[in-house]
Structure 1
Amino acid sequence: MGGIISVSGWVELGLLTSPHPLCYIYYLRPSSLCHAEDWLSVCTMPSKPAPIKKSPAKKAADKAPEPAPEPAPVEAPPAEAPPAEAPPAEAAPAEAAPAEAAAPGGEAPAEEAPAPAAPVEEAPPAPAAAPAAEEGATAPTEDAPADAAPAEAAEPAVVEEPPKAPTPPPPAVPTSAPRDVFVEDVNDSNLTINWTTPETIGDSGLDGYIIEYCKSGTTDWVKAQEQVTPANRYCIKNLTAGDLLQVRVVAVNAAGRSEPGTLSEPVPIREVVDRPKIRMPRNLRSKYVRQVGEQINLVIPFLGKPKPVVSWLKDGQPLDTKRVNIRNSEKDTIMFIRQAEREDSGAYELSIKVDSFEDKALVTLQIVERPGPPTSVKLVDSWGFNAALEWTVPKDNGNSEITGYTVQKADRKTGEWFTVLDHYHRLTATISDLIMGNAYSFRVFSENQVGVSDSAAITKNVATIQKTGIVYKHPEYPEHNFSEAPKFTTPLSDRAATVGYTTRLLCSVRGSPKPKIEWMKNQMIIGDDPKFRQLANQGICSLEIRKPCSFDGGVYTCRAKNAQGEAIVSCKLEVKQIIIPEKGK
C-alpha cells in the first residue's frame, strides 16, 4: 500500500494497487468528518490511462534539492488501526496514476517506466508528511500546525464507466398440456385420476397441477383443490353419486396455466362392482390357424358388473356383419364364421368396457390352404447318370410358409412318376442314378403346413442319358514285402535238471523267410549228437536232452538266421546229482 500520510490535521490520501494492471483504489479520510480509523475507498478502472502533464513549477520543484523536514508532534495511532504494509518498491509509469503525489520529505517522484503498474512509494517511518501537490496547488509550509487542514485539498479524479443496462430475461413460456389423463378408480363419492407429465415444461419449470371438474351439460368448472399439487395422481372426494362429470388437468408455471388435458368422455359417479376382465382361452392366446372352408366358433368369457359394453374390431376397422356374426351375453361373447375364407384372416380386437374402465384382448386368425406350384422349373445340365434342376418359389403360398418341395422323375418310355426327393428345402437339386439310354422328365410340387400343392411345375426339356462304352480294368495292387529278420518272441529260461531225467529247452521265433535254427552248448554247435534232439515246428524251437549227466550242464544258445539277419537267445542249465544216505544203500 502506497500513499501520503500526514498528521491528523491533513486530509490523508492512500493509494492501493489492484491486481488488475489498470485498476487503482484510493482511500480518503477527511479529518474533520470522521475518526482517524475511518477510511473511504474509491475504485476506478480507466478505460485508457491519459498522460499527465507537469507544470513548470512542478518540474522546478522536482529539480530543487530536498530540504530536511522538521520533526512534528505525532499522534499515537489508535489500537484498532491495522499496521501499514510496505508494498514492493517497483517503478510504474507516471501516466498510469490519476494524480502525481510527492514523497514524504520532498523526495522526487519515481522515474517513468514502461511497465503498466501503478506508482508505488515506500511508506515513511515518520508519520509527518506533506500531502501530494497537484498541478497549480501550493504545498503547506513546515511551520504550519499539524492539525490545520489545507485551504484546498486536491482529490484525485475518479473515472467511472456508465453502468450497462442489464439484459432482460426471456419471457416465460407456459408448459404444454398434461397427457394421457385417465380414470384410475371411481366409487359413489370419490374419483381418482392419473396423468402423464407434459411433453414440454419450459425454462421456468413446473409449479404443479390444478384439477377441475364440472357436471356434464354445464360450463361451471370447479377446482378440486385449493393449492397446486406436484403429483401426477389426484383423488377428488365428496362427490355426489349419479353425477356425470367432466374432468380436466391444467399444468401451472411462472407463465401461467397451460392448455388443459381432459378425459375422453364424462365419468359417471357410481360404484363399479366388478371391473371388466377378459378371460382369454389358452388356444386363442397364440395365432389361431384354420383351413379354408372350415367353420369358426370362438367363445371368449369375461367378467364385469354392471353389464359391460362389448365391441369388436378387425385390423382397426368395424367388422363386416355379413361375414362375421357376433353374439354377446352377460358372461361371454361369441364370434362365428360359417365358412372361413382367406379374407377372414387378420387381427381381431375385443374390447370390454364398464363406464370408464376397459379391458382389451387380441385374437389373431389365420385362414390357410394348399399352396400353388413353383413358378418355373428348368433342366440346368445333364452329364453321365446325373441331371441338375432349378426352380423358383410359388406365387401363392396358401397364406402359410412354404415348408418344402417334392421332386419326381418319369421315364419317357413308361410315363410313370416316381418321387426322388421329399420335403426338400432348397431351390436346386441334382438327380442321380439315372438309367443309361433313357430320357427323363421332372416335376416339382410345393408344400406348406396344409399339404402338397394340387399341381406341379414340369420341365420343358428332357434329360437324355447317353450310352457310352465301358471297359473294365482290373485294379493293380502292389506286392507286399513280407521279409522280416528273425526275432525271438519267447526267450529261453534258465533251467535245473536231475541226473538221469530227460529235460527240454523251449523258445519261439518268427521271421520271413523261415529262419534256420542252430543249437549251441557253451558256444559250440551241437550238430547231430544223438544225445540231443532238435525240433522246430511253426516257429516253436525245442532242444531235448536225454538222461543228462553232471557234465551236460552249461550255457545253451539257440540261433535263428535267414537272409534278413539273425537272432540269438541263451539260458543256463544246471544238472543236479541225487545224494542217497548210507542207510538207504
Structure 2
Amino acid sequence: MPGPRCPRHPGSTDPPLLIPAHSSLTPQPAPAMTGKATLEAPDCGPEETASESANVPATEPSGEVAAPKSTGEEQTPKPQEPAPHVPAPDAPAASKPAPRSEDVPSAPLLLAVEDVGDSSVTVSWEPPEWLGKLGFQGYVLELRREGALEWVPVNTRPMMVTQQTVRNLALGDKFFVRVTAVSSAGAGPPAVLDQPVHIQETIEAPKIRVPRHLRQTYIRQVGEAINLQIPFQGNPTPRASWTHNGHALDSQRVNVRTGDQDSILFIRSAQRSDSGCYELTVQLEGLEAKAAIDILVIEKPGSPSSIRLLDVWGCNAALEWTPPQDTGNTELLGYTVQKADKKTGQWFTVLERYHPTTCTISDLIVGNSYSFRVFSENLCGLSDSAAVTKELAHIQKTDIVAKPKSFVERDFSEAPSFTQPLADHISTPGYSTQLFCSVRASPKPKIIWMKNKMNIQGDPKYRAISEQGVCTLEIRKPSPFDSGVYTCKAINVLGEASVDCRLEVKASATH
C-alpha cells in the first residue's frame, strides 16, 4: 500500500489523501473467538447503528454485562455533538472515507436461538468467513422489538464471544435479533434471525404421582377417616378437580384442598356410600393427567340367617345354615362354628374360616347334649351376633335289649376267664386306637378298665364297650401321655380275672 502523499500545489485540483487515525498500514492477524456472555435486556432507547457501536475503541471481556431494564417505550434520539473541524491549510476540509469491503468482517454464520425461557433467551453463532484486514474486535448483539424501527444494542462494546444469554426480559415480548462482527475498520453486515423470538411462560406438562399404597384398593372401616394426599406437578400451576364415580363430589361430606403441588381429599367419618372410584384430573393449557383411586368402606357382616340341626347319630351331629343377608360390603372369609355342652355352657370353636354352609361335628361325648352356633367373618372380623340352634343334640348310649326266656336254661355258671388276652399295641398321636379282648363268664361279669392300675371308668377320653363277651376300649386321639399298661378286669359272683397289655403312643419315624 502506498504511503501518505503530501499536499500538491494550491493550483492542483486533486484533494490530499488522508489515512484514518485508527488504521494500520499492515493488516493484523485475526484473533480466535470463543466463549459466551450473559447480558441483561437493553432499554428501547434511541436508534444506534452497528457502525456507531463498532467505533468504540475498547473491547469488553466475556462475562455478565449490566444494562438498564427495558421500559417498553420509544425515546427521542439525543442530538449528537458535531465533531471538531480542523481545516487544512490551503485545502478544503477532509472527510473520513468509507471502509472498503475487504477491510471489515463478513456476516457471522449460523445465527440460531439455543434456548428461550420465561425471562431469557440464548443465541449463538459461528465466526464469519472473513474477519477483515484490520484488527478484529468482537461482536455486537442487537434487539429490535416487534413493531419498533430502531435496533438497540445489548452490548455497547464488542465482545469476543459466540454465544450470549440475554436476561430480565418481559413476559410476552417479541423481538428480532441480529449480530454484527466488528473490526478496527468498522462493522460488517449483520446476521439477522428470520423469525422473531417470543418470550412466553414455559409450560411443563402436568403429571400425577400416585403413592404406592393407593395403587391398590384403599380399604377403610365405617367411621374411620379418609385422608388422601396426591402430589402433582406442572408449570404454571395446573387446575385440579375430583369426581366420584364420574359425578361431582358431595361437598357436604367430602373436603378438597388443592395447593401448588398436591391435592388433598378428606372425609371425616367414612360411610359405605363413600366407596367407589375417585378420579383426580389435572389440567393445564389443553393438557391433562388423570389418576383413579379405588376406595372400599367396609364393616362387620351380619350373622347367618338361620341354622338347624339336621341329624344326630353315634357321636356325630350334622348342621346346616344360610348365608347372612349383609356381608359388610366385602366378601366373606368364611364361618366359625362353635359347640357348647349343656352341662358347662362353655363355647368351644370347632371350625374356623369354614366356607361351606353345612358341616358334621364329630367326637361328641356320649350322654351329653350340645348346642351349636355359627358366626360370619370378613376383613373386619366376626359378626357381632351368631345363629344358634334351637334344639339340642343328645348323644345317647346304646340301648340294651333283653331277650325273654323261652326255655329252661342249663346252669352254665362259671368264673370269668379270658379266651383272648390283650395284645401290646403301638399307636400314633392324634389317631384314635382300640384295645380288644374276650372273656367268658356266667353270670355276665362286670368289666373294669384300668391304666397303670388306676380305674379310668367315667373318663370321657375313654369309651368302653362290652358285647357278647368282646371287651373294647377306645382311646380318643391319644397323646404320648396316654402310654402305659392297660388292664381289663372281669368280675362276677364266682370270681374275677384280668389281662394286661402295654400301649405306646409315639410319632412315626420320618424319612
Report the structure number with the largest CA radius of gyration. Answer: 1
- Give the TM bin, normalised by the shorter chain: 0.3 to 0.5
Say which structure, 1 or 2, has more relative contact order (CA 8 Å, 6+ apart). 2
Give TM-score scaled by structure 2 length. Answer: 0.40
